[in-house]
Chains A and B, each alone.
Chain A
Amino acid sequence: NAGVMQNPRHLVRRRGQEARLRCSPMKGHSHVYWYRQLPEEGLKFMVYLQKENIIDESGMPKERFSAEFPKEGPSILRIQQVVRGDSAAYFCASSPILIGQGGIFGSGTRLTVV
């Protein structure tokens, strides 16, 4: 039973390009969460999705960031026109019920903006 799969593991983008981060939840998990971790800091909540629905995006920056979890396929976190400040590790977690009752994290995507 594979865990939460994230790809790519490392992503380098030039300023102004787009970054797409993918997350496949554990089998049987229908709740997906994205967190961002800046260097030497803790994890900050970004967005919570269920299939075809954004439930809570209170942690997402208002511009350039979007997320989706389609009926088929992985969840996608999309960052348009990346800037240096977007450099961070982005982690996806999934849970069978609400994460406030337990969640499993993937290995993350480390985004570097040059």
Chain B
Amino acid sequence: GENVEQHPSTLSVQEGDSAVIKCTYSDSASNYFPWYKQELGKGPQLIIDIRSNVGEKKDQRIAVTLNKTAKHFSLHITETQPEDSAVYFCAAPSGTNFGNEKLTFGTGTRLTIIP
């Protein structure tokens, strides 16, 4: 099955600086990579995703890059703001039938933005 590793587990960044979170995956057949943001007491919120036919995707201050050869993908947050403080999870698809019946999540990164 899929194995997803996420680093770092905690990250503190000065407001206005950039934050980068990295994930690696094991199944070379995986073709979809979402990132979720979870605020305290809430459910995971999909913030951006990327499919394997592209190497980078941007949405305002958030970007995701994908390196299929190395099997890793990264979340980049620029011009960080206090409301970016949360736990971020990467994920990759897995499953025995089609390979994408479920998502395997990384262990999470607690991002703290320092005002």
Contacts and interface: CB of A to CB of B under 8 A. Distances in A.
A56 B95 contact: yes
A99 B89 contact: no
B78 interface: no
Q: How large is the interface on B (under 10, 10 to 19, 20 to 34, 35 or more residues)?
A: 20 to 34
Contacts of A106: 43
B44 A100 contact: no
Interface stretch (A13-21, A37-45, A76-84): A37-45
A100 B103 contact: yes
Interface in A1-44: 4, 6, 33, 35, 41-44
Contacts of A100: 32, 93-95, 98-103
A6 B106 CA distance: 23
14 contacts: A33-B102, A42-B89, A42-B108, A98-B101, A99-B102, A100-B98, A100-B99, A100-B101, A101-B32, A101-B93, A103-B34, A103-B46, A105-B43, A105-B45
